[in-house]
Structure 1
Amino acid sequence: MICLETQHFNINRMLLLIIGLWPYQRTPLVEFQLILLLGTLLTFIIFQLTTFLTLECTPDLIFKVLSSAFFFICLAIKYNSFWINADVLRNSLKQLQDVCNEIEDKNEIAIIKKYGSKAKRITIILILVGICCQLILILLTTWPYILIIINKSQSHFSPYIVTEYFIDQEKYSFLIMLHEEVAILIGSLAMVATGTMLITYLQHTSAMFSIACYRIEQAIDILQKGGFKNEQMSCKEIIRAVNIHCKAMTISNFLISNFEGSFFFLIAAGMVCLSCNLLRIASFINNIGQFILSLIMLIILYVYLFLSNYTAQQITDHNEYVFATVYNVRWYVAPIYIQKMILFLLQRGTISFNLILGGIFVASMQSAASLASTSISYFTVLYSTRQEK
């Protein structure tokens, strides 16, 4: 029997446990951990936005604040989405485990393990990329404060992420720096942990589609052996293929549809963040630190955008491959009543299956390109407006 939690989701489980988002064993201590970590992230966002209360709201300040604030808002949305949807995630994992418990064929188990290993590799790669980006972000945001602590004459050196704590920034520079770095650490962990969890989950639903293809091929192979008994076995295999195919679609839709609101706000916040950071890069004036910071934020968001849509595109492709398999097998050698079952499958294949993000976008590589193009269009409008002024 396949135990998903210990065999395939063990890395994801560890990451989610660190930030208190693993949906099982939600003790009062874990709830306190959640409130503390999310509170740290939200207060850092608030202290960025409070700069509008004390400083003159010039276009440069507005875009500088929004470019970083909305990046952390994206991280907070991801964190909060897993908190409020803990029951959904728990039910989704239970449904997936129930499907795995029904699988006994060694080849089908091998398919599950293949996709599980692929998900682990993706998770490890994203963890390493996340660590690299996090170290760069921490170094960039810490450097101005290090200069202030080491050499007081450098105290005029402005931080790359503007904040307003309503206290003496120089006197409490260490505490401000600590709050900033902890917020970056929490946000980065949340982005990697939640993102890899969704990818791993959807990889297993892709495995279910592949098992459906395998069962259809097996059904036709059994049928070719001849005999009434083999016809019955072939019929059962086709029914099992249809069942796991339906479960794969149901399980995929169940998870994504329950995250609809979170994805909607994530897309909206992401568009604002991308446009503002593109504008910051285009307005680069001898500030290499600010340039690198905006570039890192852009890379993180674009990678997340394309990787999430690529994973969803795989679900669509696997679903279409099921019907391509049905079409390509030697269905014409089957008895009439089995041909009617196969015809029903082929008719179902005329309706495409897609995952919907935020209730507005069909998750696909085309949508990812469209969102990237939209962010560039917004940036172009903002940049041309600034140039006119």
Structure 2
Amino acid sequence: MQHTRIIEEHYYVMLHILLLKVFGIWPHDKSRLLLLQRVLIIILNVTFICMQLLVLITSRYNLVLFVKTMSFVLPFTIIAILYCSFILKSKNIKNLHYIIQEDWKIIRNKIESEIIQKYAHYGQFYVTLIFLYTCFVIIAIIIIQFYPIIFDLISPLDEPRPCKLIIGLEYFVPQDKYFITKALHELISAIICGLIMLTTATQMLIFIVHSIGMFKIASYRVRYSLEDSVLYMSNMEKERAIYESIMQIVIAHRKAMKSSDVVISIFNVPVSIIAILAVLSLSTNLFRVGIIYLMIYILNFVRSRNIFCFITIHLVVLFAASLIGQKVMDYNNEIFRLIYCTSWYLMPVPSQKLILFLMQKAGKEFELKIGLIFVGKMENFTMLLNHALSYVTVMYSVQ
């Protein structure tokens, strides 16, 4: 476990590692129950999706039923794809941990150590914040789901309040029988799937935050290694100092780009599929709001709570992915700007050539590109929203 000490100490919180081990996707786990854990979770997820799709067969088909069913099926399908991708890419994720371990070895001084630790702890902070928010959402869902039963227990009425599941599932039993059992099954399945989404997404966030930390180290080296004091050395010492500085900048910059590229290469195909399904899922939920729940929302917000919750989650995830990609691109551009602001034109000609090569490399836009369909930057967030709204328009016209 010595090789994972830095990873566990600086990038993960204990609850995060515990959940990754429970779901069988901690890459360093060698438990004998690993295969059993994965099989059980996959079976739970697949059967939960199938039970939702069975509603289309057992109920009278119409566009409203199809949209309502797919608005839940698509998010859980996304979670299933994400979970399976972490299982299939377990060795690649382990290698990525080794790459992070190697990145720590190039740290040269206390300030660089503080920079990389700061961004590692940023990852821990974001994970903790997301976990707390998730706990709040889970408690709220439990209260909302069971509030009719709780209300009946504390204030008995002549007729019990009607109870209804959040997600449409086909159990092949009468709708009003075994409500508590069905509600518990729905709740446990949804919580497990939600926690899988949480643990996998936050793990990807940790990797990207580490890349941003490496970009900041490269920026620091540009700012303080190519300072004007170097120009007052003798020619021999000056060229040697400049060569050494440029080499250290290139190492940090290449490692920052490598860690980002490795993350993208690992999750390129699954995230491309997920991006398409996420836009379709957002479209179906927006369509439900526009067609089915507009008046209900005005009259009674509680009955439409799940749709607005789903839409909010979709928008937050798409916005966060776009924002992270934009930050990576901005930090890479900052390196070019800092190099350009140095007194490179006063350096010896051989050093100027090296600086120009470095500027040429840093001047190219570095983007988190998922396949050929999604580039992580803020303008693409609005593009995805436009696509989602255009699909809603198509569904309106079909109706």
* TM-score computed with the length of structure 1 as normaliser: 0.91
Residue equivalent to 1:260: 268
Question: Deviations for 1:278-311, whole angstroms, at most 9, x for unmatched residues?
Answer: 1111221436344110000111111011101211
Question: Deviations for 1:353-382, whole angstroms, at most 9, x for unmatched residues?
Answer: 111124421111111221122112211222
Cα separation, 2, equivalents of 1:340 and 1:142: 70
Task: Confirm or deny that 1:321 pairs with 2:341.
Answer: no
- Determine helix, strand or coil for the equivalent of 1:245: helix
Which residue of 242, 266, 290 corresponds with 1:234? 242
Residue equivalent to 1:38: 42
Q: Output the amino acid matched with 2:207.
A: Y
Q: CA deviation at 1:225?
A: 4.8
Cα separation, 2, equivalents of 1:152 and 1:356: 60
Cα separation, 1, equivalents of 2:12 and 2:166: 37
CA contact (8 A) 1:155 1:170 kept: no
Which has the higher mean CA deviation after the structures are superposed, 337-346 or 173-182? 173-182
Cα separation, 1, equivalents of 2:69 and 2:327: 36
Which residue of 216, 219, 223 corresponds with 1:217? 223
Residue equivalent to 1:87: 91
Q: CA deviation at 1:71?
A: 1.9
Cα separation, 2, equivalents of 1:326 and 1:218: 11
Q: Output the amino acid matched with 1:291.
A: S
> In the TM superposition, what are the counterparts of 1:1-389 in structure 2 within 5 Å?
3-11=6-14, 12-143=16-147, 157-221=163-227, 223-227=230-234, 228-282=236-290, 283-284=292-293, 285-286=295-296, 288-386=301-399
Q: Output the amino acid matched with 1:361.
A: F
Question: Deviations for 1:167-224, whole angstroms, at most 9, x for unmatched residues?
Answer: 3444433332222111111111112211111111111111111111222233323623
Which has the higher mean CA deviation after the structures are superposed, 16-25 or 340-349? 16-25
Which has the higher mean CA deviation after the structures are superposed, 361-370 or 285-294? 285-294
Which has the higher mean CA deviation after the structures are superposed, 155-164 or 123-132? 155-164
Q: CA deviation at 1:244?
A: 1.8
Give the fraction of aligned pairs with identical amino acids, expressed as a percent.
Answer: 28
Question: Deviations for 1:326-347, whole angstroms, at most 9, x for unmatched residues?
Answer: 1011212322211110011122
Which has the higher mean CA deviation after the structures are superposed, 208-217 or 138-147? 138-147
Cα separation, 2, equivalents of 1:147 and 1:158: 14
CA contact (8 A) 2:243 2:351 kept: yes
Which has the higher mean CA deviation after the structures are superposed, 158-167 or 102-111? 158-167
Q: CA deviation at 1:81?
A: 2.1
CA contact (8 A) 2:326 2:377 kept: yes
CA contact (8 A) 2:225 2:245 kept: yes
Pair 250,151 (structure 1): closer, same or farther in 2 beyond 3 Å: farther
Structure 2 unaligned spans of 5+ = none
Q: Output the amino acid matched with 1:160.
A: I
Cα separation, 1, equivalents of 2:11 and 2:165: 42
Which has the higher mean CA deviation after the structures are superposed, 280-289 or 118-127? 280-289
Structure 1 unaligned spans of 5+ = none
CA contact (8 A) 2:10 2:121 kept: no
Which has the higher mean CA deviation after the structures are superposed, 133-142 or 24-33? 133-142
* TM-score computed with the length of structure 2 as normaliser: 0.89
Question: Deviations for 1:56-83, whole angstroms, at most 9, x for unmatched residues?
Answer: 0122211111111212222222222212
Pair 311,15 (structure 1): closer, same or farther in 2 beyond 3 Å: farther
Question: Deviations for 1:216-275, whole angstroms, at most 9, x for unmatched residues?
Answer: 233323623513335313311211211221121122111112211211221122122111
Pair 354,218 (structure 1): closer, same or farther in 2 beyond 3 Å: same
Q: CA deviation at 1:120?
A: 2.0
Q: Output the amino acid matched with 2:283.
A: S
Q: Output the amino acid matched with 1:5.
A: E
After superposing on structure 2, the runs of 4+ consecutive aligned residues of structure 1 that deviate more than 6 Å are: 144-152
Which has the higher mean CA deviation after the structures are superposed, 291-300 or 95-104? 95-104
Q: CA deviation at 1:151?
A: 8.6
Cα separation, 1, equivalents of 2:169 and 2:374: 34
CA contact (8 A) 2:13 2:124 kept: no
Q: Output the amino acid matched with 2:79.
A: L
Cα separation, 1, equivalents of 2:375 and 2:185: 38
Q: CA deviation at 1:110?
A: 0.9
Cα separation, 1, equivalents of 2:276 and 2:143: 28
Pair 95,138 (structure 1): closer, same or farther in 2 beyond 3 Å: same
CA contact (8 A) 1:133 1:296 kept: no
